[in-house]
């Protein structure tokens, strides 16, 4: 079988596209994209983080 249209049908059975990340250990590393959606491994050397991910301090209960 060549590399043309007939072989494209064989690509439908790919399982486990999302596996464990080598850097963060979470199950969010996409094999085809070669990127981790959680920590950003494969996209950049820095860890993926945004300001909207931090919890709002206004609504956090203080332990007494």
Q: Report the predicted TM-score, pTM, of the whole model to 2 decimal places.
A: 0.64
**pLDDT tens-digit series, residues 12-43:** 777 788 999 999 999 999 999 999 999 999 99
Quickly state the pLDDT bin for 62 (edges 50, 70, 90): confident
- 29: exposed, middle or buried (C-beta count within 10 Å: 0-12, 13-18, 19+)? buried
- 21: exposed, middle or buried (C-beta count within 10 Å: 0-12, 13-18, 19+)? buried
- Arch. (CATH architecture) of 15-59: Single Sheet (2.20)
pLDDT of residue 59: 74
Distance CA 3, CA 35 (A): 26
């Amino acid at each position: 079988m060549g590399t043309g249209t007939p072989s494209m049908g064989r690509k439908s059975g790919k399982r486990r596209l999302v596996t464990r990340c080598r850097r963060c250990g979470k199950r969010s590393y996409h094999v085809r994209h070669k990127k981790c959606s959680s920590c950003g491994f494969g996209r950049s050397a820095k860890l993926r983080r945004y300001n909207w991910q931090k919890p709002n301090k206004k609504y956090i209960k203080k332990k007494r």
